[in-house]
Amino acid sequence: MNRDSPLDNLRVVLVETSHPGNIGAAARAMKVMGLSRLYLVNPRCAIDDEARARASGAVDLLEAAVLSDSLDAALADTVLAAACTARRRDLPHPAYTPRQAAPLLLSEARAAPVALVFGSETFGLSNEQLARCRWLINIPANPAYMSLNLAAAVQVLAYELRSSLQDATIPLPAFEPARHEEVEGFFAELERTLVAIGFLDPASPKRLMPRLRRLFARAGLEKEEVAILRGILGAINKRSGQ
């Protein structure tokens, strides 16, 4: 990420977290997706060896974490705070899925700090805390078991932000595709070979060649692959004395 990445303007605010392991794992989840600003509001635990172990190579985020004694302090300067919660129906906030929210969050974060707010493992966010946030983000979950781990929720949001930022496609390695006449040359030699080895009866060809054409059409043959396949056909023909 360059210095101007909107990810640098995205704060992860953990409120009243109880388990040091979750703070560490949240730091790792952030760093692996390119987020770096961790805020801890009244944590109920110390940043201990377990936190550092779970942070792995993201201990720097723990060391740089901003400790606040109120949610308002952690939200100072932000232009948007979004609460990540399973709650929804009883609240008046606009609610988004992570996928819907990510581009909007990034758009705001191009200009000014934006916060993602996560409540405690046991109690979530209070109504008063939720009232400080403009949006809700609801991560889709199994209605029969909605108990998403705190660091896993941070991971999903961080992943969505990075995916949304990055061009959605990772290009396939650029191989040179075969030309029409090369592919047709291969099919012609394949057909001759299948006749020669007695697998294809020219008097009753059935659907054999169309089936094979369909298979290779799905793959989309590359130039080098045609060369390999024709080499194999050459070896077969030599062997069977054609």
Residue 220: left (phi > 0), alpha (psi -120 to 50), or beta?
A: left
Give Cβ neighbours of residue 190 (< 8 Å, ≥ 6 apart). Answer: 209, 212, 229, 233
Q: Which of 148, 185, 191, 192 binds its own copies (CB under 8 A)?
A: 148
Residue closer to its own copies (CB basis): 71 or 95: 95
Which of 2, 3, 127, 172 is the binder for its own copies (CB under 8 A)? 172
Question: Measured between alpha carbons, how far is 48 from 135 in angstroms, rounded to an integer?
Answer: 32
Rank residues 42 and 222 by Cβ distance to its own copies and give the closer one: 222
Q: Is the CB of 173 or the CB of 181 nearer to its own copies? A: 173
* 51 alpha-carbon distance from chain centroid: 24
Q: Are 186 and 226 in contact (CB under 8 A)?
A: yes
Handedness of CA 58, 64, 70, 75 (dihedral sign): negative
* Shortest Å, Cβ 73 to its own copies: 28
Residues contributing to the site for its own copies (CB under 8 A): 1, 25, 28-29, 31-34, 56-58, 88-89, 94-100, 138-142, 144-149, 151-152, 155-156, 159, 162-163, 166, 168-170, 172-173, 194, 197-199, 208, 211-212, 215-216, 218-222, 224-225, 228, 231-232, 235-236, 238-240
